[in-house]
Amino acid sequence: RMKLTDVKGTCAAFFWYFNDTQEIDIEFLSQEFDHDNGIYPINLVVQSKKSLEAGYDASKTGSFKRVRLDFDPTDAFHEYRFDYLPGQVLFYADGKLLARMKGGDMPSSGGHLILQHWSNGNPLWSGGPPKEDATVTVSFVKAYFNSSNSERQSQLVQQCHKSSEETSGCAIYDSDNDEIDNAAASTRRVAQENFVCVLVVGLIMPFLQLSHIFLVV
């Protein structure tokens, strides 16, 4: 959940990354925002082998969509999300489905979640650099690991007790102190971090190692 900058010349992004041919992106280019005409595009991208063949230009493939939001993302907090599932990726804004991408070009590996706000002066993408401070404010990030495979669930529980290992992970639940339903907890493992953070141009948030996720920002 975040509020974007209205200062021209930056790229605000949160994305999942394994390598240059397995990447899921949601990116906002502030130079594309047109307040006078109420135009606020969001760029939805899955980088694949086809985008590599096109010179890392996913817009020349079927896994790139630029969708106009029906709200101003710079005047309030809004929730952005993608669901990374086997063979498909779904993108949402405030719970509304924006795009569905599917097929053999979709990722199939585990990777990292990254939040980023940057500018390199490229007129074809980020624009800028901005002429004044540009900030993006993030109120929370939630990442959910869901699996109906009992073996995968058991593996996650075991990893929770191996905190010294690089692949360790535990379920971290909402901090509202509500009683956790044990039945639901047995079928859903949640990795979550609640925070308020200001992303200044060039700041990269820490990585989270996840696979097959629902990501809500």
CB burial of residue 54 (10 Å; 0-12, 13-18, 19+): middle
Domains of the chain plus CATH, in order, are 2-145+195-216 (2.60.120.200)
Whether this prediction's pTM lies above 0.85 is answered by no
Distance from C-alpha of 44 to C-alpha of 141, rounded to nearest angstrom = 18
Residue 35: count other Cβ atoms within 10 Å of its Cβ.
11
| Digitized pLDDT (tens) for each residue of the chain, 217 residues in all | 999 999 999 999 999 999 999 999 999 999 999 999 999 999 999 999 999 999 988 999 999 999 999 999 999 999 999 999 989 999 999 999 999 999 999 999 988 899 999 999 999 899 999 999 999 999 989 887 666 677 777 776 776 666 555 555 565 554 444 443 343 343 333 333 444 566 656 433 333 333 333 445 5
What pLDDT does residue 182 have? 41
At which residue do the structure tokens 């990893």 appear? 159
Q: How far is CA 66 from CA 56, 99, 116, 129, in A?
A: 17, 9, 19, 22
For every residue of the chain, DSSP letters joined together read: -EE---SSS-EEEEEEEEETTEEEEEEEEGGG-BTTTTB-EEEEEEE-HHHHHTTS-GGGSSSEEEEE-SS-TTSS-B-EEEEEETTEEEEEETTEEEEEEESTTS--S-EEEEEEEE----TTTT----SS--EEEEEEEEEEEE---HHHHHHHHHHHT-TTSTT-------TT-PPPPHHHHHHEEEEEEEEEEEEETTEEPPPEEESSEEEE-
- For β-strands 22-29 and 41-47, DSSP reports them as antiparallel
